[in-house]
Amino acid sequence: MRSSVLPQALLFDLDGTLIDTAPDLAEATNRLREHHGLARLPYEVIRAQVSNGGSALVTLALELASDHPEHAVARQYLLERYAEVVADNSRVYPGLEAAIERWEAGKRGWGIVTNKPRLYAEPLVEALGLQPGVLVCADDLPVRKPDPEPLLFAARQLGVDAGKCWYVGDHRRDMEAADRAGMTAVAVRYGYIPDDEDIDDWPAVRWFDTSGSLAETLLASLAED
């Protein structure tokens, strides 16, 4: 098991880990349904699918498989609606903003590695006033998580050895990427995790039930450091 002591750098997944983006993704999904004359879906139904990306939301909304001839047009409509509301109701999870402020004050690096395209990730992060030392998005490199390269690239940008980084995420692919990168894989249970997913089976080193408990651990470790 890799060390769980305070890392030199802290890297976060974005959706469902650092920021609760589900409200705005749900709104875009329901606007797609309304465009097709369908009733809005309950928020919780959409929330369970948001970590799987735009194509999964189109399938949920319209029951169109990814190879359906109308899928691509529907996905583009969804993304256009999402761009309109990208930061309307999305918020940093409770406790993490204060923890990051303390982290920055301690001159420790932090960043975000996400499979979200930069077109949506960058304005979202800016709207919420976050200033990560590195932001790696889906379209920045030829590969995405669970490939470890986006995490390794972020560590290089921060000038920190990968083995001295935590990567925090709410999906199996996050933990697989962290494990392959040689980072401490930190899983959070508060994210967008399907009911039938066994998070305890993920290749993680640490688990946190709430963003508050994660923030408390970071703050306590900083105080002791």
Note the pLDDT tens digit of each residue in 11-39. 999 999 999 999 999 999 999 999 999 99
Domain boundaries, the chain: 9-21+90-224, 22-85
Note the pLDDT tens digit of each residue in 133-149. 999 999 999 999 999 99
Query: Which one of the listed residues 15, 24, 170, 174 is annotated catalytic?
Result: 15
Dist CA 55 CA 180 (whole Å): 26
N residues, the chain: 225
More reliable by pLDDT, 225 or 134: 134
Using alpha carbons only, give the angle 215, 48, 203 rounded to the nearest 5 degrees. Answer: 55
Residue 57: is its pLDDT beyond 80? Answer: yes
CB atoms within 10 A of CB 58: 26
Domain 9-21+90-224 has CATH 3.40.50.1000: yes
The set of residues, in sequence order, having a beta carbon less than 8 Å from that of 61 and lying 6+ positions away, is 29, 30, 32, 33, 36, 38, 41, 74, 78
* 13 a catalytic residue: yes
Residue 220: is its pLDDT beyond 80? Answer: yes
Dist CA 34 CA 29 (whole Å): 9
Mean pLDDT of 44-73: 94
Helix (H) or strand (E) holding 104: helix 96-105
* 139 a catalytic residue: no
Q: Which amino acid is at 205?
A: V
CB atoms within 10 A of CB 70: 11
* Angle (deg, nearest 10), helices 71-85 and 118-127: 20
- pLDDT band for 1, please (50, 70, 90 cuts): very low
Q: Where are the beta strands (DSSP E) in 38-150?
A: 91-92, 109-113, 134-136
Q: Which of the 8 DSSP states describes residue 6?
A: P
Mean pLDDT of 169-183: 97
Query: Which one of the listed residues 13, 20, 174, 179 is annotated catalytic?
Result: 13
Dist CA 89 CA 32 (whole Å): 18
